[in-house]
Chain A
C-alpha cells in the first residue's frame, strides 16, 4: 500500500516531467547537437531528479537542475554508447555521431559559442528563466548574464535571415 505522501511526490514529479521535459530536451539538444544522446541524457537527469526529488523539488529552478545534470553526465553516456571502455577508467575519444533532423547550422553555431554564453542561451531561451534566476543558477551576476546574452545573440544573429511573407 502506498503512503499518501509518496503518492503526492509522484504526482508532483509527474507534473514537473510533463511540464518541463520538452524544453529540457531542447536545451540539452542545443548544447550537444545530438538528438539520441540528448534524449538519453535528459531521461537520465530526470531519473536522478526523481531519485533525489525531495531535494530537487526545493531547487529554485528544478528544470535548470535537470539540464545541468544532463550536461554533466554526458561523458558517461558517451562511454556507454561507444560500447568500449578502458578498465583503468580513462575516457576515450568519441567515434560516432548521429543523424540529426533539426537545424544543424543553428545547433553548430550554438556549440561554437564559449561555454558561458552557451549556458546562458540554453537557460534563457529554452527554460525561459529570467536574468536573475540564470545568474543564480550559474553563480554569476545578472549584469554578466546580460553581457553573455548580448554577445551570444550577436554571434548567432548571422545564422538567421528574417523571412517576410
Chain B
C-alpha cells in the first residue's frame, strides 16, 4: 500500500461514524457559555461592576452559614446579587434559563446541610452526605448527561486560590422522583473535605457509602 492508499483506508474505517447532535443543542450550550463568560469576566474584575454583572443570575444561597434567600422578583438587581459576593464555601444561583449554578470553592469547609438546603431552595432535589464517598448500588440514571455539566474553573478566585469547581444543573430535565446525590469527603485522616462525588439516582435508591480515609 502506498501513502494515499493508507490514508484512504483510514478514511473508510470511520466513514460510518456520524455526529447526530442537533445544532439547536449546540447553539444553546454556546449561548450558555457566552452568558457564563460574561458573568465570570466581570467578577474577576471585582468591585461594583461585579455586582451589576451578577444581576444576570438570581443568587439563592451561599454557604457555609446557610442559604440566603433573595427578595422578590422586583428587588433591585444589585440587592439580588449581593449574597453571592459574600465569602463562602459555595454559592448557588438560579440562571435566567432556569438552570442552577453551583460553585464550590477550593480549600473551604462545606456545610453539607446548608448546601443541601440551598440546592433544594433552587429547585434541585438533593442529598448531600459528608465524610463518606457514596456511589449508587445500582445503575446511575442515564439522564445525568442532560441534567448536569461540570467544569473546573480556570484561574484563581477572588481570594487568589485555584481549584474552584462549577456545576450547572437543569432541574427541569431531572426525571420525576430523582435526586442529585453529592458526597463530600476527606481522603486523609485529619483532613477536611478533599473531594466531591455526585450521581443522579431515584429518590431512596440504595447508595454504597464508605470512608476512603487512609
Q: CB within 8 Å of B: which residues of A?
A: 10, 13-14, 17-18, 21-22, 24-26, 29-30, 35, 39-40, 42-44, 46-51, 53, 76, 79-80, 83-90, 102-103, 106, 110, 121, 124-126, 149-150, 153, 156-157, 160, 162
Contact = CB atoms under 8 A, between A and B. Distances in A.
Nearest to B35: A51
B30 A85 contact: no
B203 interface: no
A154 B143 CA distance: 43
Contacts of B33: 47-48, 51
A86 B195 contact: yes
Given A51-B34, A83-B198, A26 B17 contact: yes
A83 B196 CA distance: 8
Contacts of B27: 10, 13, 47, 50
A47 B149 CA distance: 14
Main secondary structure of the interface of B (DSSP, over half): mixed
A51 B163 contact: no
Given A47-B33, A76-B151, A160-B9, A85 B3 contact: no
B139 interface: no
A18 B23 contact: yes
B1 to A, nearest CB: 6
A56 B150 CA distance: 24
Given A83-B198, A87-B193, A90-B163, A156 B10 contact: yes
A88 B34 contact: no
A88 B153 CA distance: 11
Given A84-B197, A84-B198, 8 more contacts: A47-B27, A48-B33, A76-B152, A87-B107, A102-B13, A102-B17, A125-B11, A162-B1
Contact of B106 (A89, A124, A126): A89
A157 to B, nearest CB: 5
A50 B26 contact: yes
Q: What are the 7 closest A-B residue pairs judged by CB atoms, nearest first? A: A89-B163, A50-B30, A47-B29, A21-B19, A84-B197, A25-B19, A47-B30
A46 B149 contact: no
B17 A22 contact: yes
A24 B106 CA distance: 35
B30 A25 contact: no
A118 to B, nearest CB: 12
Nearest to B153: A89
17 contacts: A17-B23, A21-B21, A25-B17, A39-B21, A42-B19, A47-B26, A50-B29, A51-B31, A83-B144, A87-B106, A87-B107, A87-B184, A89-B165, A90-B163, A102-B14, A125-B11, A153-B7
